[in-house]
Amino acid sequence: MNAAPTIGDPARAAMLGALGVAALYTLPDLRTACTGRPRSPAMPPQPSHDFDFLHGRWIVHNRRLRERLVGCTEWEAFDAVQVCRPILGGFGNEDELVTDAFGEHRFIGMTIRLFDPQAREWSIYWVDNRSVQLQPPVRGRFDGGVGTFHGRDAHLGTPVLTRFIWTVLSADRARWEQAFSTDDGSSWETNWTMDFERSGA
C-alpha cells in the first residue's frame, strides 16, 4: 500500500483544489444568502408577433410599374399565391410567392424575415428564381399596425433607398408596397403593390 500523501504533496493539493471548486458550486447564491430571495434567471429573448397576421395561405393581387425611375405610369397587374409560415420559434418567418402570369416560366419569389430581439426590429430579405441572388435587406418595425422598413440597394446601377410599407387591414386583408428614392428619401416612386386576401384553399 502506498504511503498517505503529506500536506505538501502535489497530489493532495490538486485534490483539495478540486474539492474546493466543487464546494463553490454547492454554495447558495450570495444574493440569496444576503437577501433571502433567489436570484431571478435572465429572461430569454422574446419573439415578436408583428408578422403573425401573415401566416397562412393568401391570394395576392399585384400591381407593378413596367419601368422604374423613368417616369413610367404604365402598370402591369397579375395574381399570385403566397404561403407563409413561422420559423426559428417565432423569431422569423418565410414565405413563397408563386405565379404563372409570365408564360411558361413560373415566377417564384421568397421572403425571409428575421427579428432582432435586442434592436426590436425586423430584417427582410428577398430572393427569386430569376436572379437567385439574395437582395440587401430592409430593416424596420411596426407602429400601430403599419410596418415601415428601409434599406440601401441599386436599380440598374443607380443607388436607391428602398422602402417597404406593410399595412394590416384586418385578419384577412393586408397591403404591401415598395418604393424607391434616388434623393435619400426626399421623394419616392412607388413601383410595386400587393393586396393580400386570405385564401381558404
Tens-digit pLDDT profile for residues 2-53: 343 333 444 444 433 443 433 333 334 444 445 566 566 677 889 999 999 9
Q: What is the pLDDT, as a whole number, of residue 102? A: 87
Q: How many CB atoms lie within 10 A of CB 8?
A: 7
CA distance 65 to 189: 10
- Spatial CB neighbours of 185, under 8 Å, sequence gap ≥ 6: 150, 161, 163
Q: Which DSSP letter does residue 7 get?
A: T
What is 52-198's CATH number?
Answer: 2.40.128.20
Q: What is the pLDDT, as a whole number, of residue 192? A: 98
Q: Which amino acid is at 41?
A: P
Residue ranges of domains in the chain: 8-41, 52-198
Residue 25 has, within 13 A of its CA and on its CB side, a CA count of: 4
Residue 190 has pLDDT above 90, yes or no: yes
Choose between 13 and 65: higher pLDDT. 65
Sequence-ordered alpha helix ranges (H) in 27-171: 30-35
Q: What is the pTM of this model?
A: 0.77
Range 94-115 average pLDDT? 95
